[in-house]
Chain A
């Protein structure tokens, strides 16, 4: 017994306890539901069997049925557009802003702080505000774009199949910008100044310095930002009901929202679970990217 406590105080035991507590908590409250969904995707589910684990097993029937849905490929395409569009926008703008605010000028820190407000904005509120800004006939964005001469007629952001997915992407970029900029700023600040000074002495221009110093030094940060960004984007839910509800005609429907729709609007819980398990594959990919990126970390 005392060996146990010694191990706890002085050895691996302490570490195991710390990690174990958190992992157990996560396993119970995130792992179990995950398992439940995987199980459900292979079963026949109805309202009477929601509360039990053992239901008629149907093999891959649900998967086949989901792929055969007429909207499956459209939703897949939209999910990819949504993920790449949002992540590219968030990352590029976030990186540009992080670089910009790394310059020394009066008020830089204060103004950078203002850019973080979208972080603390509840998704539902952001959805409501953007829904109002993007409205076709009374939306302020159309008025601004028209007065700038960029568009001639109103763009129906939420109802035009060519724009609906972009309406959600615009709102999502705004929502996720803060997170990207903050983490990238942290990464930038960690790069030793003298590296740049040395490069400048060697005659490297700004672009070369960015390419040869900033990017390589930021590798782990970028990995973390991108993989967390992917997870965050796939999980985005609040914006959809507030903006387009996946419409018109599923042109802005993505996997996460579709899975919710199948479960909670069409009451087809098994198919909803199936779609969510399919998303799992994408996130698996993200996690591998993240974990690999941490390989290059050096402890300061």
Chain B
């Protein structure tokens, strides 16, 4: 009897809530990200769930192509149409946070029961920090390593993946098989952020960084890359292929090694009809300094939002769901307190281990408000060297001159 009564009461209460819901002043939150174009992504899925679960908040989600995200947001911000929450690629974040376009959430995070700043990896956390304040939260992270085709390695009498760049070239020569359209290696030296993403780690391995690019070691590796292209051990199209396309040729068996990241794993498990593995990004000398790219996106609340409290609630919801990132979307959480489940797919689990180790060496790009210009100087130099328009050192020196004007 008691139970029935309770049930009735609960039912009434729920009914009253449902009936009353429209009476609440509804808050609309606009969320922009690149997720959810042709398959469900993090931002669209979680936003929809939050929207369904909260009657007082309407989440309007908008997909924007990667190349247009920053532009759209800049323009919208300048004209007062900015979204409440936006998700940027990590090197783009400083452009906004440095100019006060993002909401300072330092205190909110400190008071939050859900978000714990201490759990985040340092690199991703740096990219959302400006001037000691926290302007956003890392969404997920990734990095790059070297994939290799174990079948082809065995056929060429190789057993171990390369550990230095000189070895990469050496192996690439052995693995190249023009008769079967097989290149020894593939990577992305595209004129864009992806090119910088793959080349900056080399500069960092040689003791440089975004503010010091003309190092001997970086020029050396550029010469090695050029050697691979000139000799036909890597396709000349690495200069125009993005990472996804470039790794596509690896999956199709047209390249024996590929430099790319964990986002490739799911597709590779499906497409690659051979045995493959991943190794840490090679170094310049045996046992030399390691580095790798730090990729991944961030969340941020824009400073123009009318509903900071609700927006932060939504942010907290995203964070609360982060244990689903890897199993459902194949992305690596940017924090250390989430154990990644074993999937049972042997190659995937092995690859994941390597990338988790690699993440320890991953170094951020920036943060710098003019990162895009630094990046262009770097990828332009890389392309000038690889196409033989300038010697590697001259190209890097020219990039250094451009970069000096940005840093000073």
* A, B assembled together: yes
Q: Does A256 contact B (CB under 8 A)?
A: no
Of the candidates A136, A249, A268, which one forms a contact with B191 in the assembled complex, judged by CB atoms under 8 Å apart? A249
Residue of A nearest to B189 (CB): A248
Contact status B380-A51, CB under 8 Å: no
Chain A 31-70 per-residue mask, 1 if CB under 8 angstroms from chain B, else 0:
0000000000000001111110000000000000000001
Cα(A9)–Cα(B70), bound, Å:
53
Chain A 248-281 per-residue mask, 1 if CB under 8 angstroms from chain B, else 0:
1111000000000000111110000000000000
Contact status B77-A47, CB under 8 Å: yes
Chain A 119-141 per-residue mask, 1 if CB under 8 angstroms from chain B, else 0:
00000000000000001110000
Contact status B387-A248, CB under 8 Å: yes
Cα(A49)–Cα(B79), bound, Å:
9
Q: Does A160 contact B (CB under 8 A)?
A: yes
Residue of A nearest to B375 (CB): A266
Given contacts A48-B99, A51-B79, contact A249 B372 (CB under 8 A): no
Given contacts A47-B99, A71-B380, A266-B372, contact A136 B237 (CB under 8 A): yes
Interface residues in B68-89 (C-beta closer than 8 Å to A) = 70-71, 74-75, 77-80
Of the candidates B80, B239, B254, B372, which one forms a contact with A137 in the assembled complex, judged by CB atoms under 8 Å apart? B254
Given contacts A246-B191, A249-B191, contact A159 B236 (CB under 8 A): yes
Contact status B181-A137, CB under 8 Å: yes
Interface residues in A133-162 (C-beta closer than 8 Å to B) = 135-137, 156, 158-161
Q: How large is the interface on B (under 10, 10 to 19, 20 to 34, 35 or more residues)?
A: 35 or more
The secondary structure that dominates the B interface is helix
Interface residues in B230-253 (C-beta closer than 8 Å to A) = 235-240, 249
Q: Does A247 contact B (CB under 8 A)?
A: yes
Contact status A159-B239, CB under 8 Å: yes
A47-B74, A50-B74, A70-B398 given; 15 more Cβ-contact pairs under 8 Å: A48-B99, A50-B79, A137-B235, A137-B237, A159-B236, A161-B387, A245-B190, A245-B240, A246-B191, A248-B191, A248-B387, A249-B384, A251-B387, A251-B389, A264-B71
5 residue pairs, one from A and one from B, having the closest CB atoms: A247-B191, A50-B78, A249-B383, A156-B236, A159-B239
Interface residues of B (CB under 8 A from A): 67, 70-71, 74-75, 77-80, 95, 99, 101, 181, 190-192, 235-240, 249, 254, 372-373, 376, 380, 383-384, 386-389, 398, 402
Interface residues of A (CB under 8 A from B): 46-51, 70-71, 135-137, 156, 158-161, 241, 244-251, 264-268
